[in-house]
Amino acid sequence: MTPAKHGHGPSHPAARLYAQEVQNGQMSRREFLGRATALGVSVPAAYGLIGLDSRAEAASHGMTPRMGGTLRIQMDCRALKDPRTYDWAEMASEARGITEYLVEIHRDGTLHPVLLAGWSANADATEYTLNVRPGVKWNNGDDFTAQDVAANITGWCDASVEGNSMATRMAALVQDGQAAPGAVEVLDPLTVKLRLLTPDGTLMFGMGDYPAAIMHRDKIGTSVADHGIGTGAYMFEQFKVGEKVVLVKNPDHTYWGQAYLDRVEFLDYGTDPSAWLAGADADEFDMTYETVSDFIDIFTSLGWVESQVGTSATVIVRTNQEAEIDGTRPYADVRVRRALALAVDNAIPLELGISGRGIESNNNYQVAPGVHPDHAMIAPHRQNIEEARRLMDEAGMLDFEHELISIDDDYRKNTTDAVAAQLRDAGFKVKRTVMPGSTFWNDWTKYPFSSTNWSHRETGIQTLNLAYRSTAAWNETGFRSDAFDALLNAATAIADNTARQATMAKLEQMMVDEGVAIIPYFRALYRHAKEGLLGAEMHPKYEINIHKLGWA
Amino acid sequence: MALFILRRLGVMVASMLCMTFIVFALTNLPANLEKLAKTQAGTRMTDAQVQSWLARGGYAQPMLRRYGEWLGVVPGHAGDASAGETAGRCARAAMQAGLDRAPRYCGVLQGNWGYSTKFRAPVGQVIAERLARTGVLMFWAFAVMVPLALVIGVLAGMREGSATDRTLSTVSIASTSTPEYVSGVIFVVVFASSMVGLKWFSGSAKSAVDGITFHNFTLPVATIALYGLGYIARMTRASMAEVMTAQYIRTARLKGVGFRAIVLRHALRNALIAPFTIIMLQFPWLLTGVVIVEELFVYPGFGNALVEGAQNNDIELLMAVSVVAVVVVLITQLISDIGYALLNPRIRVT
Amino acid sequence: MDPLSWTGAPGPWLNPALGVAVLALAGAVVAHALARIFASGAQPITRRAVWVTLGAVALGGLAHLAGALVLAPDDTGIIARISARFWPVWAALGITFALSLALRRRLGLYGHLFENPMGMIGLGLVLFWVFTAIFADLIVPFDPVADVISGMKNKPPGTALRAPEPGQYGYYLLGGDALARDVFSRVVMGARVVLGIAPAATLFAFMVGIVLGVPAGYLGGRIDTALAFVANLVLAFPVILLFFLLVTPEIIAMGVPTYMAAVLFLFPIVFLVILWNARFHTRPVLRAVTVGLTVLVGGWLYLGLAWDADPLGLISIPGGVLIVFVAVVFVNAPTVFRIVRGLTLDIRTRDYVAAAQTRGEGAWYIMLWEILPNARGPLLVDFCLRIGYTTILLGTLGFFGLGLPPDSPDWGSSINAGRGLLQFFPFPPLVPAVAIMSLVLGLNLLADALRQESLRD
């Protein structure tokens, strides 16, 4: 079978199977678009497969912005560094006007080429061909070529770089902490071939994630703030960490695409939302990065335009089964963990933590119904205080004082407080400890009992691999089960959606039975912008691409 | 007097040494270094990665040695330039100055305040810029607060128990009972919010960085001034009231000296001794009060640098912050002592 | 159930009457002021008018407060219900005032307070919060931390519970906070936290400041230099920096707060021992008794508070509170030291000190029994002010996420938690703010009255 080319011709066979599932009502349109485009099917073609016109989607984005104008965005202004080590989406948004990406993920979960002209994958997703966009230039005058792409991908695979989170996304290319020999090959100046060690249908999603900014081939491992070399239309005029970042159109560079605004200012108002409100009231910015909690309604009532997007972002309240307190491991006992989960009605943290802005989880597993395409429905969670007390009593832990730790930050703190209050209502002893953000993350995987926020991922299997595999660096629950790992391997290898769901159901049930964590809800994210600003809709991963923003 | 001031200057230097060493020791505790590594190179690093990051940055050397380096009395860690390592303080200093070879000493004594890991800029530059902004804020706060407080205090204290006294005392008590984080918020709600709709002033001082206006600076200044006002006024009043009952005032009154003359010529000078000390001691307190207001009104000044530095364990920034704090406090105390001596003839400086 | 109104059934006729009375009072005050300036002959009449109208207003207010006594439960409003919840406080206040008034001639300085109306108001406010702290358990209708009731988030005062359980109070009298907890219960229970920490911490700071400040000012020389050096060093530490450095879990784990407590908590014992020793050095028996008792009781408290090693197991202080307590004492003590030292410098040049020196009195006697009593006026003022400051400081720490645990009902934390949404849900931060203000106001009035009365002696 000939592999499908992005942007033309017949589609990937799997994509056609997915299209059939959509027609049968087994898969949502959104899930389909995400999965089909990940396999290299172009967006118009993907829409076509399910009998829709992509222009309908385009129309929803509205008009083309006019040229020129200044935009002021409220956002934390963080220091830039090696993009591979970005740990905040804000960093990527600051630099996105200069360093662009191979692909981008749209609000609806679809993948679109940016610095690539297209890509294709073979049938079992072990070989990818990347077609580099021709005619793109670096702002130092060099041509953007396949060499750049290969150098970046090789750099992503370098697990020896501290904090390089791309290595886990590129895991299928990595051998002994480096790109496997022959895994990344430049075929010609506009073509790169990737040979995966294991099948991975989510590889291209990794390339659309915020640490995957494309650097000049000679500047891998540097911060763009130091040299300003990129392919984007903008350049830094001012870069003050914690204060403001100003970008203006680069007059010496011919941008390959379209950019509207002349000037973009990112303004840092700190982490207190009431300060953002004060700034908005004083007309000091035009767009928020993310509007949170009670402030969502308030910004809307001020006449700002609200946009929202459902995500799989969540706050989990988890125990660490391996943590020792005074020489014992209180959470090694599954009865204790189950008791904690049973004492909580997940609707309460949803209401008190995030004012109901999101959906209640189906049960305590980290796969989001309606968002993750591989979510499988299992029996829903029911609060049962009697059973919780019985289990806790049986474990002899009724008098144990649980110390529940959280970060000192609006919704995470409130969610955790709501859980703590319910545990107390069930008669368990709970002590709350709140840490400032600066100290909280030092030991976030090791706290015996704490809450953690997880950001959005496109598929459920991605999250489970990151957080619950025994060997995962981010495994904060101390849940290490061979059976679970085996199921994870099986699920990761399944390309087909329906087939994966069956395995996912087992994984989900296992998480519930083991009481791995309390996962009360999945959040919707909100953003506000002034009337007349185009392209400012909230993105599941908070992305702000200043090339696309503009005034009507 | 010259000797006295010289000695005090000596004390200042000793204080700075003690203080910077304490701050250095606290910020260089292993756990805090780990925090630094994680805020710099990624919140979710493994322990081994933290160790290697610290070693590369020169943080693994003995603490005393690095304090000496910071001070500039021990040759600085130059970093291995051939390996492209630029983390050593001398290497960075050389890079900034465009020198080929790193200088041997590059501490505070050589005028190198180091590099802020949070703001990604030389500390000297960060501090100078921030201090100037906070200086402006403090100047206006003092300009509003001190004259007002002295007038209120003297008016209230000169006729103790009168209706004027009761009214002014109530005003100053109400002001001392209203911390910045209450008054600031109420000000914003009343004068700057869409809900009340007055919108006379701005609830954010962010734009004051580019130029102070009545619109964007009134609320922060009022917030700081209001809180300090009552305390100084109360102290002035207490002091004034006490002086007014003193023997020599009674004598003067018995001699038939007019009330106005008594207040202005006899009472005022002695009554201002205590408030003078209090006002001077207000400086360091204001410095912390300023932190709240800067956070509340998003004004990127010195207080904001302190909070950011502490939250990110930005060692060299915190060191500079503490040096500045010590200098400000000790100078105000010196002025307070000299003024105290000049105002009170019964005390002699020896 | 319908939400409660502020004044309940009598509101429709009592409120207009009260309004008229308030207007009349305002008119009378203006008339009195005018009479003082222009027509002193009319003063007796206007003064009477002020008193009469004031009485009417007070009567109206009292009627609201006492509503619960005469009205059917369904007719009472929020004010009457709150007043009813406070019954132990009213009872205690009544008994205290009645006894004090009856015995005021025999009560010295405290008795004199009852001749000073502002002093009585100040004392009343302070005692109100003290009794509230003591009887908090009887007053609160809900648990201030654990009772998170669905549907009550950010609700206005007087909101009825959706589905009250049998025996549960039916309303959130002052509304719900952002976590659906009862604002009224939190403020009442917050009094216990605030009054448990602030006055004690201030007292400790004063002990430290006095024990070090008086000798520094009186003796001068090396001691003075050394102490002033240390005090200035601590003063030069911005409070926030100090707390950011001290409250990290690593430093707590190293036991730094405990060591600081071990040093700071020693001062009160030292102070009392020196005090008794200086006073009674001519009367060996009395000296032995007082000093012995001090060491015994003080030592017991010291072991329990600082080292958490009370042999009887009665006294213990939670880790988080200890850190806050120690840090607050640590921050306040140098300021007190400065003030005491300044006062001592001033007073030691006075004649009566010279007289005592000529009499051959010991240095400690002069310091503690000649200088200190004469410095008590300014110190009392500062002490009362400083309790308020300490309360405010606790809130400041909460502002930066340091200090007490976040769900603590103390006023500072509550204000900080609610301030962001003040313009939309004013009650959660406003009620504790009023509480702080009234407590500090009471302390100030009390301090002022004490100063006046002590000067009059």
Number of H-type helices and E-type strands within chain B = 15, 2
Taking CB atoms within 8 Å and a gap of at least 24, the contacts of A223-229 are A223/A79, A223/A80, A223/A81, A223/A82, A224/A80, A224/A83, A224/A95, A224/A98, A224/A99, A225/A79, A225/A80, A225/A95, A225/B120, A228/A98, A228/A139, A229/A98, A229/A138, A229/A139, A229/A140
Q: Worst-scoring range by mean pLDDT, A69-78, A88-97, A517-526, C429-438?
A: C429-438
Taking CB atoms and an 8 Å limit, are B177 and C444 in contact across chains? yes
Higher pLDDT, A55 or C438: C438
For residue B79, name the pLDDT band (cuts at 50, 70, 90): low
Q: Which of A16-30, B87-101, C153-167, C419-433 has the lowest mean pLDDT?
A: B87-101
Residue B342 banded pLDDT, cuts 50, 70, 90: confident
Average pLDDT along chain B: 80
Q: Choose between A307 and B231: higher pLDDT.
A: A307
Total residue count of chain B as it appears in this document: 350
Scanning the structure block, which residue is given the tokens 């910020």?
B27
Among candidates A162, A282, A445 on the partner chain, residue whose Cβ is nearest the Cβ of B53? A162
pLDDT by residue (tens digit) across A404-445?
Answer: 999 877 788 889 988 998 998 899 999 888 887 666 877 788
- Mean pLDDT of all residues in B303-314: 86
- Give yes or no: residues B66 and B143 share one domain: no
The packing angle between helices A460-467 and A482-493, to 10°, is 150
Chain A partners within 8 Å of B45 (Cβ)? 162-163
B61 shares a domain with B6: yes
In the predicted structure, residue C61 carries a pLDDT above the cut 60: yes
Nearest chain C alpha carbon to B173: C441
More confident residue, A20 or C172: C172
Residue C273 covered by a domain: yes
- pLDDT, mean of residues B129-135: 92
A311: burial class by Cβ within 10 Å (0-12, 13-18, 19+)? Answer: buried
Using the Cβ of B217 and the Cβ atoms of chain A, whether some distance falls under 8 Å is answered with no
Q: pLDDT tens digits for C247-266? A: 666 677 667 778 888 888 88
Total residue count of chain A as it appears in this document: 552
Give the side-chain half-sphere CA count within 13 A for C232. 27
C289 falls within a domain: yes
The span from the CA of A14 to the CA of A43, in Å, is 15
Considering the domain architecture, whether residues B148 and B70 belong to the same structural domain is answered as no
CB contact under 8 A, A441 and B313: no
Q: How confident is the model at residue C404 (pLDDT cuts 50, 70, 90)?
A: confident
Q: Which of C131, C136, C191, C249 is nearest to C408 (CA)?
A: C191
Max avg pLDDT among A515-529, C2-16, C256-270: A515-529
Q: Quick one: how far is CA A123 from the chain centroid?
A: 26
Answer for the pair C148, C130: CB distance below 8 angstroms, yes or no: no
Query: Long-range contacts of range C257-263, CB-CB < 8 Å, 24 or more positions apart?
Result: C257/C319, C257/C322, C257/C323, C257/C326, C257/C327, C258/C306, C258/C307, C258/C308, C258/C322, C260/C326, C260/C327, C260/C330, C261/C305, C261/C306, C261/C307, C261/C322, C261/C325, C261/C326, C262/C306, C262/C307
Which is more confident, C221 or A13? C221
Identity of the residue in B45, B298, B311 whose CB atom sits nearest the CB atom of A162:
B45
Question: In the prediction, which pLDDT does C379 show?
Answer: 84
pLDDT single digits (tens) A360-380: 999 999 998 878 878 899 999
CB atoms B35 and A81 under 8 Å: no
Q: Which of B82, B112, B142 is the last residue of a domain?
A: B112
Taking Cα atoms as reference points, which of C319, C373, C324, C315 lies closest to residue C204? Answer: C324
* CB A104, CB A205: distance < 8 Å: no
Using CB atoms, pick whichever of C179, C400, C420 lies closest to residue A352: C179
C58 within domain boundaries: no
- Tell me the pLDDT tens digit for each residue of A134-147: 999 999 999 999 99
Query: Is residue B243 domain-shared with residue B317, that is, in the same domain?
Result: yes
What residue ranges in A355-458 does DSSP mark as E strands? Answer: 358-360, 401-407, 429-435, 449-454
Domain hosting C268: range is 192-396
Q: Which of B259-273, C146-160, C352-366 has the highest mean pLDDT?
A: C352-366
Mean pLDDT computed over C155-161: 86
Range A343-371 average pLDDT: 89
Q: How confident is the model at residue B178 (pLDDT cuts 50, 70, 90)?
A: confident
Query: Domain tally for chain C?
Result: 1
Q: Are A399 and A429 in contact (CB under 8 A)?
A: yes
Whether B239 and B313 share a structural domain: yes
Q: Select the more confidently predicted residue: A466 or C188.
A: C188
Q: What is the DSSP string of B13-66?
A: HHHHHHHHHHHHHHHTSHHHHHHHHHHHH-TT--HHHHHHHHHHTTTTS-HHHH
Mutation choice for C interface testing from A430, A434, A438, A444 by most C CBs within 10 A: A434
Residue A497 has a pLDDT of: 61
CATH numbers and ranges of domains, chain A: 1-61 (no CATH), 234-304+530-551 (3.40.190.10), 314-524 (3.10.105.10)
Integer Cα distance of A328 and B51 in angstroms: 29
Alpha helix (H) residue ranges in A8-156: 13-23, 29-38, 43-49, 54-60, 89-95, 146-156
- Taking the C-alpha atoms of residue A468 and residue A321, their distance in angstroms, rounded to an integer, is 12
What pLDDT digit, counting tens, does each position of C178-209 carry? 878 899 999 999 998 888 888 989 999 998 99
Mutate to test the interface with B, among C235, C341, C421 (most CBs of B within 10 A): C235
From the list A541, A533, A540, A538, the residue with the least C-alpha distance to A62 is A533
Domain count, chain B: 2
What average pLDDT does range B11-20 have in this prediction? 84
Nearest to C445 by CA among B244, B166, B235: B166
In a domain, C446, yes or no: no
Residues B303 and B226 in one domain: yes
Residue B182 sits in the same domain as residue B99: no
Tokens of C75: 């007719």
Alpha-carbon distance of B135 to B126, in angstroms, equals 14
Vertex A149: Cα angle to A145 and A155 (nearest 5): 140
**Contact call for residues C328 and C394 (beta carbons, < 8 A):** yes
Q: How far apart are the first and last CA of chain B?
A: 8
Residue B121 belongs to a domain: no
Q: Are residues B200 and B153 located together in one domain of the fold? A: yes
Q: What is the pLDDT of residue B84?
A: 43
Strand partners, A129: A120, A193
Per-residue confidence (pLDDT) for residue A114, from 0 to 100: 94
The answer on B156 and B106 residing in a single domain is: no
Q: Is C236 on the interface with A (CB under 8 A)?
A: no
Per-residue pLDDT, A403: 93
The residues pairing with A168 across neighbouring beta strands, listed in sequence order, are none
Verify that B233 and B296 share a domain, yes or no.
Answer: yes
Look at residue C18 and tell me if it is in a domain.
Answer: no
Tell me which of A199 and A402 has the higher pLDDT.
A402
Q: Is residue B122 part of a domain?
A: no
Which of B38, B53, B292 best probes binding to A when mutated, by most A CB atoms within 10 angstroms? B38
Residue with tokens 């009697």: A386
pLDDT at B93: 63
What's the pLDDT at A297? 85
> Is the predicted pLDDT of residue A448 greater than 90, yes or no?
yes
Task: Provide the strand spans (E) within A98-176.
Answer: 103-105, 111-113, 116-121, 127-132, 174-175
A172: left (phi over 0), alpha (psi -120 to 50) or beta: alpha
Assess C406–A contact: CB distance below 8 Å, yes or no: yes
Amino acid at position A357, single letter: R
Q: What would the DSSP string read from start to end of B142-163? A: HHHHHHHHHHHHHHHHHTTTSH
Confirm or reject contact between B313 and chain A (CB < 8 A): yes
Please indicate if any CB of chain B lies within 8 Å of the CB of A177.
Answer: no
Contact in structure between B231 and A302 (CB atoms under 8 Å): no
Position C375 in a domain: yes
**Residue B200, pLDDT above cutoff 80:** yes
**With a CB-CB cutoff of 8 Å, which residues 202-261 of chain A face chain B?**
225, 240-243
Please name the residues in contact with C181: beta carbons below 8 A apart, sequence gap of 6 or more: C142, C144, C145, C147, C148, C149, C152
pLDDT value at residue B284: 66
In a domain, B119, yes or no: no
Q: Which of B15, B31, B303 sits opposite C233 (nearest CB)?
A: B15
B56 is a domain residue: yes
Cα-based distances in Å from A196 to A172, A461, B318? 5, 18, 48
- Residues in Cβ contact with C238 at an 8 Å cutoff, skipping those fewer than 6 apart: B284, B287, B288, B291, B306, B321, B325
Tell whether C245 is covered by a domain.
yes
Mean pLDDT value across chain A: 86
Give CA angle at B2 (B1, B4), nearest 5°: 60
Tell me whether B308 touches chain A (CB under 8 Å).
Answer: yes
Query: Which chain A residue shows the shortest CA-CA distance from C144?
Result: A421
How do beta strands A429-435 and A401-407 pair? parallel
Q: What six digits make up the tokens of A141?
A: 């005058």
C-alpha B169/C-alpha B161 separation (Å) is 10
Does residue C1 surpass a pLDDT of 80? no
CB within 8 Å of C158: residues ≥ 6 apart: C3, C4, C5, C6, C77, C78, C171, C172, C173, C175
Exposure string (b/e) for C256-287, b if CB count within 10 Å is 16 or more? Answer: bbbebbeebbbbbbebbbbbbbbbbeeeeeeb
Question: Where does A269-319 have alpha helices with state H?
Answer: 273-281, 295-301
Tell me if B120 is assigned to some domain: no
Domain extent at residue B67: 2-112
Whether the CB of C46 is below 8 Å from some CB of chain A: the reply is: no
Tokens 């999965």 identify what position?
A35
Across the interface, of A348, A434, A436, the residue whose CB is closest to C150 is A348
In chain A, % helix, strand, coil (3-state, to 5) comes to 35, 20, 45
In a domain, B216, yes or no: yes
Shared domain check, B133 and B81: no
Q: Residue A93: which pLDDT band, with cuts at 50, 70 and 90?
A: very high
Residues B91 and B163 in one domain: no
* Chain C partners (3+ C-beta pairs within 8 A): A, B
The pLDDT of residue C90 is: 92
Among the ranges given (A58-67, A454-463, C314-323, C358-367), the one the predictor scored with the smallest mean pLDDT: A58-67
Alpha-carbon distance A39 to A5, whole Å? 10
Q: Is residue C240 part of a domain?
A: yes
